[in-house]
Chain A
Amino acid sequence: MTIAIELQHISKSFGETKAVQNLDLEIPQGSMCGFLGPNGAGKSTTIRMIMSIIHADSGSINVLGTNALDAKDRIGYLPEERGVYRKMKVCKFIEYIANLKGMYGPSLRKIIPDWLERIELPNVENKKCEELSKGMQQKVQFLAAVIHEPELIILDEPFSGLDPVNARVIGKVINDLHKEGRTILFSTHILYQAEQICDRIIMIDQGAKVLDGSISSIQEQFDPRVVQVEPVNKSISFDSIEGVEHSTQIERSNKVNLRIREDATPTDVLQRVVAFTPVISAQLARPTLDEIFIEQVARNRGADAADAVRMEFENA
Chain B
Amino acid sequence: MRKTLTVAWREFRHTAMTKAFLFGAVVMPILMMGLFIIVIPLMQTTEEPLKGTVIVLAPEDVVAVLQSKISEEDTTLQELLDKLPEIITQDPLAGALIPKKIETDLQISVAPDEDIDILKDQVRNGDYLGLIVVPEEIVQTEQSDVRLEVFIPKSFSPKHTDILTSLASKSVVDARLRRLGHDPDAIKQLTRRPRTIATRLSDDGTEAKDNEFARKIIPMAFMMLLWIATFTSGNYLLTTTIEEKGNKVIEVLLSAISPIQLLGGKILGQAGVSAVILCMYGSAALAGLLSFALVDLIPISHLILFVVYFVIAYFMIATIMAAIGSAVSELSDAQSLMGPAMLILIIPFALWPIISDQPNGMIATITSFTPPLIPFIMIIRVTASTEMVATWQIMLSIGIGFASVLVMVWMCARIFRIGILMQGKPPSLLQLVLWIKQG
State the A residues within 8 Å of B (CB).
48, 51-54, 69, 72-73, 75, 77, 79, 81-87, 96-97, 99-102, 141, 144-145
Contact = CB atoms under 8 A, between A and B. Distances in A.
Given A100-B3, A100-B7, A83 B256 contact: no
B250 interface: yes
Contacts of A87: 14
Nearest to A54: B421
B251 interface: yes
Nearest to A100: B256
Contacts of A72: 255-257
5 contacts: A83-B244, A83-B248, A96-B6, A141-B252, A145-B252
Interface residues of B, number: 19
A79 B203 CA distance: 69
Given A53-B421, A54-B421, A69-B258, A100 B253 contact: yes
Given A96-B6, A96-B10, A100-B3, A83 B255 contact: no
Interface of B: 3, 6-7, 10, 14, 244, 247-258, 421
Given A53-B421, A54-B421, A72-B257, A97 B6 contact: no
Contacts of A83: 244, 247-252
A100 B253 CA distance: 8
Contacts of A141: 252
Contacts of B255: 51, 53, 72, 75, 77, 79, 145
A102 B258 CA distance: 13
A56 to B, nearest CB: 14
Nearest to A156: B251
Contact of B251 (A79, A85, A96, A99): A79
A51 B252 CA distance: 11
Nearest to A99: B6
A279 B7 CA distance: 67
Given A75-B255, A79-B251, 17 more contacts: A48-B251, A53-B254, A53-B255, A53-B421, A54-B421, A69-B258, A79-B248, A81-B248, A83-B244, A83-B252, A97-B252, A99-B6, A100-B6, A100-B253, A100-B257, A145-B252, A145-B255
Nearest to A141: B252
Contacts of B250: 83
Contacts of A73: 256
A144 B258 CA distance: 18
Contacts of A77: 252, 255
> Among B14, B244, B247, B421, which residue has the most Cβ atoms of chain A within 10 A?
B247
Contacts of A96: 6, 10
